[in-house]
Structure 1
Amino acid sequence: MNKLNIAIAAEFDLCEKIADFLQQSELNVGQLSIVEIYPFNEEQGVRFNNKAVAQIATEDVNWGDFDCVLFAGETAQATHIANAAESGCVVIDMLGVCASISGVPVVVPTVNDEQLGNLRQRNIVCLPNPQVSQIVLALASLMEHYPLNQVIISSLLPASYHSGETVTKLVGQTARLLNGIPLDEDEQRLAFDVSPHHHDFSVQLSKIFPSLNVVLHSIQVPVFYGLAQKISAFSDYAIDIDVVKSAYQQNDFIQLDEKITPVLNGEQENNEETVKLHISDLKVIENGVEFWTVADEQRFNLAFLAINLLARIFNQQS
C-alpha cells in the first residue's frame, strides 16, 4: 500500500483519539494533518508518531492534497465534504450527515462491508451516528440467527456525545451547584438534569437494516462519558439465550460483561485491544431478548470504527 496522506476534521478531543488509533493501526500513513473546522485553543495540539500534527485553517486547505478525510462535523459544514470528495479524496463522514444523499453508502465495519463497493460513486462513505453504530453492532449478531420484527431502544447520551466543551460545562455546573452557586437564568442546565434529545436516524438505519422497525428514544443525562442503550428486541420465534451469547462471544468488537457502567467503560479503555462494545444484563423475554449496551462513543463508535473502516477501504484498493 502506498503511503497515505490523511486529514482529520473534528473537534480537538476527537482528533486526539483518532490520531491515537491511527498510530496503532497497520495503515501506512505518510502524513497526517488537522483541518480546523472547529478552531483549537492556543494550547491544544495533536501529536502523531511523536511529531506535532500540522493544523490547517479551512480557508487555506487544499483537499486534493489528501487521500482521505475523516470528517466529524455538522450538517451546516457539509460543503467541506462535497469539496473534498470533488477533489478526488475519499471522505469518511463520521456522523452520517450525508446519509440521505443517494449513492452514499452507510457502513458499519463487519456488518455491511459489501456496500463499500458503491464508494466511488461520490467518494463519500458514512459511518453512522454513534447511536446508530451501537444499535447496528448490537443487533447484527442477533439477526444472523433470529429475524426481528421490532426493536425498542432508549439511548442515554453523555456530555461527551456532543463535544469536549459540553463535558467542561457539565464539570463546571456540577461544581457550582454542589457549592450552592445557582446557574444563570438563560444557561442550559446539564448537571443533575435530564432532557429529551430529538434527532431522526431512520435514514441511516434503513440503509443498513431496510425492513427493521426501530423505535428510538434519546435522553440527555448528566454523565460525562459513555453512551448507554437499553435494547428490547422482539421476534416471531422464541430466542435461545445460549445462541445469543455464543454469537456475541464470537464477535471481536463485542464483550459480554456481568455488569458495566458508562463511566467505568470510559475510564478503562485506551487502545485497540481493550476498546469494545460492552453488552450486559442479557435476558430472554417472551419472543424476544433484552440487554444493556455501553460504549465509549468517541473512542469506540467514532475513532476506532472510523479507522477500522478506513483500513477496509484502502485494503480493498491495494
Structure 2
Amino acid sequence: MGYRIVVVGATGNVGREMLNILAERAFPVDEIAVLASRKSLGTEVSFGDKTLKTKDLATFDFTGWDIALFAVGSGPTKEFAPKAAAAGCVVIDNSSLYRYDPDVPLIVPEVNADAVMGYTKKNIIANPNCSTAQMVVALKPLHDRARIKRVVVSTYQSVSGSGKEGMDELWEQTKAVYNPTKDVPPTKFTKEIAFNVIPHIDVFMEDGSTKEEWKMVAETKKIIDPKIKVTATCVRVPVFVGHSEAINIEFEDHLDEDEARDILREAPGIMVIDKREDGGYVTPKECVGDFATFISRIRQDSTIDNGLNLWCVSDNLRKGAALNAVQIAEVLGQKALKKG
C-alpha cells in the first residue's frame, strides 16, 4: 500500500521539484493531488510520466489524505496548514512559519531523523532554510566526533532561492549588459544582481544582521545543539541554482583534516570531492540536479585551536527544499505512518 499525497504550491520551482523527486525516488504514492492558488487553477504539472492539473487550494478537503508537502509562502501556509493538520493530514512545511515553534520538529533526516516523532503535537513538521540544511548535513558528523564550539559561515546563495522572479531578473539583467539600449532595474533584489554580489538576503534586524543570517543561527541550534555558536554572512550571487558556503569550524577537541575527510566520506548525504589540484573541488553549477551535499577544500585552520575550514555546495532546490521534504516524508512513513 502507498500513501495519498498532496503537493501544495505545485506550480512553483520547489513544488515542481517535489513532484520530480517523489517520482525519481519511487515514493509509494497511491494517489496524488496537486494544489495551487486560484490564479493558477488548471495549470498542468508533471509527475513521472503523468500530467496532472492543479486544483484550488482554497476549496480542497484534506480529509483522508496522508501527507501534504507545502511549498508556498508563510501567508497561505498560516491559513491552510492548520486546516490540513486538523483533518488528519501530516503537513511538511517548506516555509519559515513553523521552524521556530517548540512544538514543531525541524528536521534534516541525515541529522535528526528521530525528532520527526514530535509531529504528533501539531501534525506539522518544518523543513529548514535552504542554507541551513546543507550546512548541518556537513556539521553533524564532525560534531559527533569532536564537539563544535563555533561556526563562522559565509554563504554564496543562488537566485533560485528567491523564486522564479529572482531567476528571471538575473536572466534579463544579464542580457541587458550586452544590450546598452535596454535597462532592467532591480525589482526582486535591492541592487543589480547580474555580474554583482549582494550582501543582503531577507530583511535587516536590529543588530545589523539579516533575517537569513539569523535563521542559520537559530536553526542550527535547534537541529544540532543549542550550545553551538554560529555567526553568518549571507550573500546573493549571480548563479541560477546551487548554494555554496565557506565554513570555518572551531571544535572542543582536535580533529585532524584527514580524519575529518574520512568521517565526511562515510556520512549520509555527503559526497567528498577534495583534491588539491586545479578543478579538484565542486562548484554550484556541477551540483545541480544531484541529491548530495558536496564537500571540498577541507583543511586545518592554524589561526585557532582545533579549527577546520571547508567548502560546501548543494542544489538548493533539492537538498535545500524539495529533497529534504520528501526525505522527511520517507522517514515519516518508516517511523509513524507505516502502510501495508
Change (3 A) 1:302 1:151: same
Distance 1:65 1:38 in 2: 22
* 1:242-261 paired onto structure 2 within 5 Å: 242-257=258-273, 258-261=280-283
* 1:25-174 paired onto structure 2 within 5 Å: 25-37=25-37, 39-40=39-40, 45-77=44-76, 78-174=78-174
Runs of 4+ deviating beyond 6 Å: none
Q: AA paired with 2:291?
A: V
Change (3 A) 1:183 1:103: same
Tell whether 2:247 aligns with 1:231: yes
Identity of aligned residues (%): 22
Deviation by residue 1:118-164 (Cα, 9 ceiling, x = unmatched): 11110001120111111111100111111111100011111111112
DSSP 3-state at the match of 1:62: coil
Deviation at 1:311, TM superposition (A): 0.7
Query: Which piece of structure 1 moves more, 186-195 or 294-303?
Result: 186-195
Query: Which piece of structure 1 moves more, 144-153 or 232-241?
Result: 232-241
For residue 194 of structure 1, the aligned residue among 193, 197, 208 is: 197
Q: AA paired with 2:53?
A: A
For residue 205 of structure 1, the aligned residue among 220, 225, 233 is: 220
Change (3 A) 1:3 1:41: closer
Whether contact under 8 Å (1:32, 1:48) holds in the other structure is: no
Change (3 A) 1:31 1:54: farther
Q: Which residue is equivalent to 2:277?
A: none
Whether contact under 8 Å (1:73, 1:95) holds in the other structure is: yes
Whether contact under 8 Å (2:158, 2:243) holds in the other structure is: yes
Q: AA paired with 1:4?
A: Y
For residue 317 of structure 2, the aligned residue among 291, 295, 298 is: 298
Distance 1:246 1:39 in 2: 50
Deviation at 1:24, TM superposition (A): 2.4
Q: Which residue is equivalent to 1:262?
A: 284
Q: Which residue is equivalent to 1:3?
A: 2
Distance 2:92 2:228 in 1: 25
Deviation at 1:205, TM superposition (A): 2.3
Deviation at 1:179, TM superposition (A): 1.6
Query: Which piece of structure 1 moves more, 201-210 or 180-189?
Result: 180-189
Distance 2:65 2:262 in 1: 42
Q: Which residue is equivalent to 1:316?
A: 335
Whether contact under 8 Å (1:37, 1:58) holds in the other structure is: yes
Query: Which piece of structure 1 moves more, 202-211 or 67-76?
Result: 202-211
Distance 1:237 1:302 in 2: 33
Query: Which piece of structure 1 moves more, 254-263 or 24-33?
Result: 24-33
Whether contact under 8 Å (2:173, 2:184) holds in the other structure is: no
Deviation at 1:52, TM superposition (A): 1.6
Whether contact under 8 Å (1:34, 1:55) holds in the other structure is: yes
Deviation by residue 1:22-80 (Cα, 9 ceiling, x = unmatched): 112243201112211495498x5222242222311222211224211111222222221
Q: AA paired with 1:265?
A: C
Unpaired runs of at least 5, structure 2: 202-209, 274-279
Distance 1:155 1:186 in 2: 21
Q: AA paired with 1:110?
A: E
Q: AA paired with 1:75?
A: S
What is the aligned residue count? 310
Change (3 A) 1:38 1:316: farther
